[in-house]
Amino acid sequence: MRGTGRIVRFDDVRGYGFIAPDSGGEDVFLHANDLDFDRLLAKRGTRVSFDIEDGPRGKFATAVLITSEGSGRAGAGSKAAASDTDEYFDVFSAQEFKEAATEILLEATPSITGEQIVRIRAAFEGFARKHGWIE
């Protein structure tokens, strides 16, 4: 069964966390091996879709994908074809892209300045827009 929800916590060091499903009920266990995206993007509040499976210790998520937020569309968010092999990827809003890029830059280089972040983000945003990676 496929579900949607928000990551309520994720420990990158330990490689696990929990998702609060939109359907309610108990939080669903999330392991880093089941993420279909970079684990650095697994932050509190991130909207995701996932398959729900039952295990000996309760429900756990597999095939976890980031979904677009606030799109007003049904389903798992905005999708665009990645190739003719039926693979898909999420298309981020410009704001989602900026937030993700900022988090990645700060985690990779804690000494980076605000001015450097703004310049790097602007360059990547232009590149991402040109390739249809953001709306």
Which CATH architecture group holds 2-66?
Beta Barrel (2.40)
pLDDT tens readout for residues 13-70: 888 999 999 998 889 999 999 999 988 899 888 999 999 999 888 899 999 999 875 3
Q: What's the burial of 133, exposed, middle or buried (CB within 10 Å: 0-12/13-18/19+)? A: middle
Q: Where are the domains of the chain?
A: 2-66, 79-130
Tokens (6 digits) for 53: 């499976």
**Predicted structure pTM score:** 0.51
Could you report the per-residue pLDDT of 88-116, keeping only the tens digit for each?
Answer: 455 678 888 888 888 888 888 888 888 88
User: What pLDDT band is residue 79 in, cutting at 50, 70 and 90?
Assistant: very low
- SS3 label, residue 89: strand
Adjacent-strand bridge partners of 16: 11, 31
Name the CA dihedral angle for 66, 70, 75, 81, rounded to a multiple of 10 degrees: -60
User: Which is nearest to 96 in space by CA: 67, 54, 123?
Assistant: 67
